[in-house]
Amino acid sequence: MSMDHRFEVFFDGECPLCKREIDALRLLDFRRRVLFTDIAAADFDAAAVGKSYRELMDVIHGRMPDGQFVTGVETFRQLYAALGFGPLVALSRLPGVRHLLDLGYHWFAKNRLRLTGRCLKDEQGNCTVAAPGPAPLNSSLN
């Protein structure tokens, strides 16, 4: 990640809901503070960032300029803060609101492949999705 960026977000560019939100956020990134990294891109190498493709698919990840990773709703907080939405981020940290957002995101992350029509069931009934490369990826997402 370039030092010009305040935050890097790793997103699934093949997820229609995820892509729609990221496209909207890119339009709001006037100062180019966010590095948007598509983990579904053919040239993306999860190992190069120290994560597995499955880890990155199971829950959204972000990376701070110091290299520290954040996941889940905290990724969205850091992303929105980098775009200048500090008051919205502060509201998302309030007791109750924080809990509801965490629960809602956890449910979405667990079900997003099914919700977006991308869930291919394997023999054990787990969702699979094609990883960049030749073999399908088994996911804990059902």
| pLDDT value at 86 more than 50 | yes
Q: What is the pLDDT of residue 125?
A: 76
DSSP assignment letter at 76: H
Contacts of 1 (CB under 8 A, 6+ apart): 8, 35, 63, 65
Give me the mean pLDDT over the 22-50 stretch. 95
H or E segment and range at residue 63 = strand 61-63
More confident residue, 125 or 58: 58
pTM of the model: 0.83
Mean pLDDT of the residues in the chain: 88
107-113 average pLDDT score: 90
- Banded pLDDT at 136 (limits 50, 70, 90): very low
Residue 101 has pLDDT above 50, yes or no: yes
Mean pLDDT of 131-139: 51
Q: What is the CA 106 to chain-centroid distance, rounded?
A: 12
Helix 97-115 and helix 16-28: axis angle, to 10°?
130
